[in-house]
Structure 1
Amino acid sequence: MLDLVRRHGWNATAFQTLGGEYSYFFHGEGEARGCVAYVDTGRAWVAAGAPIVAEESIAELATEFVRAARAAGKRCCFFAVEDRLPDATGEALRSIRIGEQPVWDPREWPEILREHKSLREQLRRARAKGVRVREVSPEELAHGPTGEAIRTVAERWLAAHEMAPMGFLVDVEPLSRAPHRACFVAEREGTVIGFAGVIPVPARGGWFVENLLRVPDAPNGTAELLVDTVMRWAANVKCQWLTLGLAPLAGDVPGALRFARRFSAPLYDFEGLRRYKAKLQPRVWSAIHLSYPSEQSAGASLFDALEAFTRGGFVRFGLATLLRGPTFVLRLLALALVPWTILLAIAPARLWFGTPAVKWFWVAFDIVVALGLFRLLRTRDVALMTVLAVAVTSDALLTLVEAIVWNVRHMQGVGDALVVLAACAAPALASVVLWGARGRILRMRGV
Structure 2
Amino acid sequence: MDTEHLRVLELLKRHGWNATSFQVLEPGYSYWFDGEDACVAYVDTGKAWVVAGAPIASHERLAEVSERFEVHAASAGRRLCFFATEQRMLDAAPLRGLAIGEQPVWDPRRWEQSVRESRSLREQLRRARAKGLRVREVSPAELKDPTHPVRAGVDRLMEHWLVSRRMAPMGFLVQLSPYAWAEERRSFVAERDGEVVAFLSAVPVYARNGWLVQHLLRDGQAPNGTAESLVDAVMRAAAAEGRSYLTLGLAPLAGDVAGWLRAARVVGMPLYDFEGLRAFKARLRPHAWDRIHLAWPARHASHLPLYDALTAFARGSLARFGLATLLRRPLPLVRLLAVLLVPWTVLLALPANAHRFPSPLVQWGWVFFDVGLTVGLFSLIRRWRSGLATLLASLITGDACLTLLEALLYNLPRARGPGDWLVMAVAVLAPTTAAVLLFWARRHPALVPA
Give TM-score scaled by structure 1 length.
Answer: 0.89
| 1:208-287 to 2 correspondences below 5 Å | 208-287=212-291
Larger deviation, residues 230-239 vs 150-159: 150-159
| Percent of matched pairs sharing the same residue | 50
Q: Secondary structure at the match of 2:228?
A: helix
The one-letter amino acid of 1:97's match is: A
TM-superposed CA distance for 1:388, in Å, is 4.3
- Whether contact under 8 Å (2:373, 2:392) holds in the other structure is no
- Whether contact under 8 Å (2:20, 2:173) holds in the other structure is yes
Aligned equivalents of 2:334, 2:283: Cα separation in 1: 32
TM-superposed CA distance for 1:98, in Å, is 1.5
TM-superposed CA distance for 1:328, in Å, is 4.1
- Alignment partner, residue 343 of structure 2: 339
Aligned equivalents of 1:184, 1:49: Cα separation in 2: 26
Are the structure 2 counterparts of residues 430 and 356 from structure 1 closer, same or farther at C-alpha, using a change threshold of 3 Å? closer
**Does residue 1:12 correspond to 2:23, yes or no?**
no
RMSD: 2.6
Equivalent of residue 375 in structure 2, options 368, 384, 402:
368
Aligned equivalents of 1:28, 1:14: Cα separation in 2: 19
Aligned equivalents of 1:134, 1:423: Cα separation in 2: 59
TM-superposed CA distance for 1:263, in Å, is 2.6
Equivalent of residue 179 in structure 1, options 183, 186, 189:
183
Equivalent of residue 89 in structure 2, options 72, 85, 91:
85
Are the structure 2 counterparts of residues 289 and 401 from structure 1 closer, same or farther at C-alpha, using a change threshold of 3 Å? closer
Are the structure 2 counterparts of residues 246 and 357 from structure 1 closer, same or farther at C-alpha, using a change threshold of 3 Å? closer
| 1:322-361 to 2 correspondences below 5 Å | 322-325=326-329, 328-344=332-348, 351=358, 358-359=365-366
Q: Deviations over 1:83-127 (max 9, x none)?
A: 2111112xx212222111111111222211111111122222223
| 1:31-180 to 2 correspondences below 5 Å | 33-89=37-93, 92-143=94-145, 144-180=148-184
TM-superposed CA distance for 1:131, in Å, is 2.5
Aligned equivalents of 2:88, 2:302: Cα separation in 1: 19
- Alignment partner, residue 316 of structure 1: 320
Q: Secondary structure at the match of 1:351?
A: coil
| 1:282-321 to 2 correspondences below 5 Å | 282-321=286-325
TM-superposed CA distance for 1:327, in Å, is 5.9
The one-letter amino acid of 2:206's match is: P
Are the structure 2 counterparts of residues 56 and 278 from structure 1 closer, same or farther at C-alpha, using a change threshold of 3 Å? same
TM-superposed CA distance for 1:172, in Å, is 1.9
TM-superposed CA distance for 1:320, in Å, is 1.1
- Alignment partner, residue 392 of structure 1: 392
**Does residue 1:27 correspond to 2:9, yes or no?**
no
The one-letter amino acid of 2:377's match is: A
Q: Deviations over 1:36-88 (max 9, x none)?
A: 00001111111001111122222211111111011111110111111211111
Are the structure 2 counterparts of residues 228 and 390 from structure 1 closer, same or farther at C-alpha, using a change threshold of 3 Å? same
Give TM-score scaled by structure 2 length.
Answer: 0.88
- Whether contact under 8 Å (1:396, 1:424) holds in the other structure is no
Aligned equivalents of 1:441, 1:276: Cα separation in 2: 30
Q: Secondary structure at the match of 1:39?
A: strand
Are the structure 2 counterparts of residues 343 and 42 from structure 1 closer, same or farther at C-alpha, using a change threshold of 3 Å? same
Q: Secondary structure at the match of 1:98?
A: strand
Are the structure 2 counterparts of residues 13 and 350 from structure 1 closer, same or farther at C-alpha, using a change threshold of 3 Å? closer
Aligned equivalents of 2:349, 2:447: Cα separation in 1: 39
- Whether contact under 8 Å (2:213, 2:249) holds in the other structure is yes
Aligned equivalents of 2:100, 2:324: Cα separation in 1: 25
TM-superposed CA distance for 1:353, in Å, is 9.1
Q: Secondary structure at the match of 1:36?
A: strand
Aligned equivalents of 2:448, 2:195: Cα separation in 1: 16
| 1:365-444 to 2 correspondences below 5 Å | 365-376=372-383, 381=384, 384=385, 386-403=386-403, 406-411=406-411, 412-413=414-415, 418-437=422-441, 442=446
For structure 1, the 5+ residue unaligned runs are none
Aligned equivalents of 1:444, 1:393: Cα separation in 2: 15
Aligned equivalents of 2:186, 2:381: Cα separation in 1: 45
- Whether contact under 8 Å (1:155, 1:444) holds in the other structure is no
Aligned equivalents of 2:359, 2:131: Cα separation in 1: 60
Are the structure 2 counterparts of residues 158 and 301 from structure 1 closer, same or farther at C-alpha, using a change threshold of 3 Å? same
- Whether contact under 8 Å (1:109, 1:231) holds in the other structure is yes
- Whether contact under 8 Å (1:47, 1:78) holds in the other structure is yes
Q: Secondary structure at the match of 1:185?
A: strand
Q: Deviations over 1:237-288 (max 9, x none)?
A: 2211100011111111222222222332122222221111111100011111
Larger deviation, residues 428-437 vs 304-313: 428-437
The one-letter amino acid of 2:103's match is: Q
Aligned equivalents of 1:400, 1:326: Cα separation in 2: 19
Count of residue pairs brought into register by the alignment: 434
Aligned equivalents of 1:87, 1:310: Cα separation in 2: 29
For structure 2, the 5+ residue unaligned runs are 1-7
- Whether contact under 8 Å (1:186, 1:222) holds in the other structure is yes
TM-superposed CA distance for 1:189, in Å, is 2.5
Aligned equivalents of 1:277, 1:441: Cα separation in 2: 32
Aligned equivalents of 1:226, 1:240: Cα separation in 2: 18
Larger deviation, residues 171-180 vs 321-330: 321-330
